Structure 1
Amino acid sequence: MSLLIAETEDLDTCLELRFEVFVREQGVPPEEERDTLDDSATHLLATQDGTPVGTARIVFQGDIAKIGRVCVVKSARGTGLGARLIEACVDVARERQGITRAKLGAQIHAIGFYEKLGFEAFGPVYLDAGIDHRDMVKPL
């Protein structure tokens, strides 16, 4: 079994994975899932034996790497892939000149997951696509 996580230009595959997880599973409206940031973001794609199983994107804003749209298909959950995706995003951010922090909006149920990866929650709970979130940050 071969897992590969790498930057990709294959936005269509990333969008298909996100549609499956966010729209079909979580009920996020399709018009809220896709936005204009996708065109300028750095996208990562995880493949298991050549099959797409997860994705994430990074939007660089000033000294911040905003990690978002992180998803793993149902069949690959519980394997550590989500953590590896986040670690890969952090590695990409560290390589970028001038980036000092990684930031993300975590669904409330996932805060503990991100804390284990070195992120710290801050600020109030807010709704994003009808789901409670809280911002989290990690110094790089």
Structure 2
Amino acid sequence: MNPVTVLPVPVFSTLCNEGFRLRREVFIVEQNVPGDMEFDADDLTAFHFVAILSGEVCGTLRVIYAEDFVRIGRVVVSLAWRSKGVASAMIRHAMEAHRDARDNRFCLSAQSDKTAMYERFGFKTIGDEFFEVGIPHYEMRNF
């Protein structure tokens, strides 16, 4: 498999819009997340990343600077490219790019079946499992 290219992209750029399209495809269509809950005001100020493989945007995530930590969110990979290291490449890239912010402290809300992947990056579950848009999640932090 070709290496994954992960790029920071400006909001509403062509590549970012491809990432938004992928978010709609995965969250709204595949996972039945309500459309009005998927996109929010944070998208306007977030740092967006896309993963490209074989010339197509196959993954995306966003990074938000919260008060005490850097929040990684909206991590998606297209169905055809799952379990091929795309999400890991994006997480690695996002953490590297933002490690100087908030004392290198990161957090995220992980779908419960994805926690093992985040644990490889030093994240640990915090608190009890909860449901967000009907999907079980854990809050995770790397500190």
Answer whether TM exceeds 0.5 for this pair.
yes
Aligned match of 2:7: 6
Q: Establish whether residue 128 from structure 1 lines up as the match of residue 132 from structure 2.
A: yes
Q: Alpha carbon RMSD of aligned pairs, Å?
A: 1.4
Cα deviation for residue 15 of structure 1 reads 0.9
Aligned length: 138
Identity in percent: 30
Aligned match of 2:107: 103
Aligned match of 2:55: 50
**Could you tell me how far apart the structure 1 residues matched to 2:3 and 2:106 are?**
27
Contact 2:47 2:64 in 1 (8 A): yes
Report the 3-state secondary structure (helix = DSSP H, G, I; strand = E; otherwise coil) of the residue aligned with 1:78: coil
**Could you tell me how far apart the structure 1 residues matched to 2:117 and 2:3 are?**
24
The one-letter code of the counterpart of 1:92 is A
Q: Which runs of 5+ in 2 are unaligned?
A: none
Contact 2:70 2:107 in 1 (8 A): yes
**Could you tell me how far apart the structure 1 residues matched to 2:28 and 2:119 are?**
26
Q: Establish whether residue 41 from structure 1 lines up as the match of residue 40 from structure 2.
A: no
Report the 3-state secondary structure (helix = DSSP H, G, I; strand = E; otherwise coil) of the residue aligned with 1:94: coil
Aligned match of 2:82: 77
Aligned with 1:60 (options 57, 65, 72): 65
- 1:101-137 CA-to-partner distances (Å, cap 9, x unmatched) read 1100011111122112211001122221111111000
Report runs of 4+ in structure 1 exceeding 3 Å deviation: none
Contact 1:93 1:99 in 2 (8 A): no
Cα deviation for residue 100 of structure 1 reads 3.1
| Cα distance change of structure 1 residues 48 and 126 upon mapping to structure 2, 3 Å threshold | same
- 1:20-65 CA-to-partner distances (Å, cap 9, x unmatched) read 1111111111111111100000000111132100000000012311
Structure with the bigger percentage of strand: 1
Contact 1:62 1:99 in 2 (8 A): no
Contact 2:4 2:89 in 1 (8 A): no
**Could you tell me how far apart the structure 2 residues matched to 1:102 and 1:59 are?**
10
Cα deviation for residue 2 of structure 1 reads 4.9
